[in-house]
Amino acid sequence: MGQTQQTGTTTEEIEVKALQDMYRKFVMECPSGVLFLHEFKRFFGVDPTGDASDYAECMFRAFDTNGDNTIDFLEFVAALNLVFRGDLEHKLRWSFKVYDKDSNGYVDRSELRSIIQSIYRIKRGTKTDMNDDHLSVDDVVERIFQAVDSDGDGHINMEEFIKGAKADPWVLNMLKLDMNPSRWVLEQRRRSARF
């Protein structure tokens, strides 16, 4: 019985220590206590004019939950917790925010095309295939809209987005990078460490 309590305390201590370490790193990188877009890009080693720039901006916007154009430590921790521990439903909700570039509550073809195009450029830069079909960006956008836009209005709302992704394994696979940006984050950190 004592071991069970000790294990629980150890796990809690590890999480507190990890949180303290994250805070220390955040404060060192962002002495102002908030992360601006240019700092976010620098933090993850993203060239402001490079292939990953648009994608980084969409991620930044999705992390910025209060819409003040900065990411404070609480937003940073909440986003990382979601990315690394969230369930599929929460990750899809977060993913929708990445796609909904203008935050109007739905994704149109141009928003979807913009993100898919960014993902293609990133994938090309990391020399990994986007999919086995080698579809063009426009083909991917059309296929996603056919599978997800259930009312055919040319817009995908969050409900359609989540339902469509859960119902179609191909759509879910196409959204994987956005649902799990940890791989992208780690790749950006590795690339910046090489230079």
Q: Which residue has the higher pLDDT, 33 or 184?
A: 33
φ/ψ (deg, to 5) at 34:
-135, 155
**9-45 pLDDT tens trace:** 444 444 677 777 777 877 887 788 898 998 888 776 7
The partner residues of 157 in beta bridges, in order of sequence, read: 106
Q: DSSP secondary-structure letter at 151?
A: T
**84-138 pLDDT tens trace:** 677 888 888 888 888 898 889 999 999 999 888 887 777 665 444 444 457 899 9
| Share above pLDDT 70 across residues of the chain, in percent, rounded to a whole number | 72
* pTM given for the model: 0.69
Which residue ranges form the domains of the chain, and what is each CATH number?
Answer: 32-194 (1.10.238.10)
Give the pLDDT score at 39. Answer: 84
What's the mean pLDDT when you consider all of the chain?
A: 77
φ/ψ (deg, to 5) at 71:
-120, 115
Of 181, 125, 121, 172, the residue nearest 144 (C-alpha): 172
Distance CA 182, CA 28 (A): 21
What does the pLDDT average to over 130-158? 87
| Share above pLDDT 90 across residues of the chain, in percent, rounded to a whole number | 25
Q: Model confidence at 147, in pLDDT bands (50, 70, 90)?
A: very high
Q: What is the DSSP string of 80-134?
A: HHHHHH--HHHHHHHHHHHH-TT-SSEE-HHHHHHHHHHHHHHHHHHT--S-SS-
Q: Model confidence at 52, in pLDDT bands (50, 70, 90)?
A: confident
- The two tokens of residue 40 are 């976010």
Give the pLDDT score at 133. Answer: 55
